[in-house]
Chain A
Amino acid sequence: MNPSALAGAAEATVVVLAVSGEHHAFAELVRRRQGMVRGLMRRLCHDHALADDLAQQAFVQAWRRIGRLQSPQAFGSWLRSIAVNAWLQEARRAPARLEAPAADLPEPEHYGLGEDDLAAARLDLNHALLRLRASERICVVLAYAEGPSHREIAEATGWPLGTVKSNVTRGSERLRAWLSPQGERDE
């Protein structure tokens, strides 16, 4: 199938072609899913270059393992698990790369979203996320940004459901406290 025909094909079809070793089909999957993977990594890392590098690593892993994908319909959640594991591996291997020094993180200003300043709100949220522990950060980002259930997060991270729930709860509380106006902050 040529690249232009792939652009209009159903994802399951493209996945089947990628499983059979078609490079063009896999490139089409990268084209379609890069927003999800890169968006996730940008929430989790403090700089975009590192986020994109981890996103690339996740796609390379996906290419290596796609032959083992059980169902083409599960490609999205399967890819998310690979991305989560790529980030967790990096967090274990070189945790300092994923953190920004606390002194470099400015005070948040925009919890109440102004329609005109989404970029500032995004920056506040991303800086606040960097203050969470890695395990809390990944659980909070997956729960709020990606939308899977706690059970699906437990499957993606390989952690017990109770650990995921407490990470989401604790992380949300800390995030809310950090993003609230100065007077309401606990810390």
Chain B
Amino acid sequence: MSDNLDPGLKRLFAETAEHPADEDFVTAVSARTARVYRPSPMVRELAAGCLTALALAAAVGGAGLALQQGAAVIAPLITPSPIGIVTGLSLALAGAICVRLLAPLAFRRP
């Protein structure tokens, strides 16, 4: 430490230092912290997952709305096929699984 401190004061502080320690204090703090609600890490991760899901729902809703507005233009270009529908649903399912698995990692503390 390169800060200039008065050696006399430094010594005075060191020699008169107090480090009070007793179990009554620990008990008093424990009584107060017991009344404080703190969500467990699992609850925090669930909340983070819910927030992610909400954000995704909003994004998908927005995209759906845009798609609906553009449907008149797009519809004539699409040929319905059972394979296409199954592929689309599979991709959506895979996406949902990925989001569920990755959401907690995104919100995890370093």
Contact = CB atoms under 8 A, between A and B. Distances in A.
A59 B33 contact: yes
Best-buried of B6, B10, B16, B40 by chain A (most CB within 10 Å): B16
Given A38-B20, A39-B17, A111 B12 contact: yes
Contacts of B10: 144
B66 to A, nearest CB: 38
Given A34-B25, A34-B26, A172 B5 contact: yes
Contact of B26 (A31, A121, A172): A31
B93 to A, nearest CB: 33
Contact size class for B? 35 or more
Contact size class for A? 35 or more
Contact of A23 (B8, B21, B30): B30
A73 interface: no
B25 A30 contact: yes
Nearest to A42: B18
Contact of A35 (B19, B23, B40): B19
Interface in A52-75: 52, 55-56, 59-60, 63-64, 67-68, 70
Contacts of A122: 16, 18
B26 A30 contact: yes
B36 to A, nearest CB: 6
Interface string A136-147: 000000011101
B29 interface: yes
B29 A30 contact: yes
A118 interface: yes
Given A27-B26, A27-B29, A168 B21 contact: no
Contacts of B2: 149
A85 B43 CA distance: 28
9 contacts: A34-B20, A34-B26, A39-B17, A39-B18, A55-B25, A56-B25, A118-B15, A122-B16, A168-B3
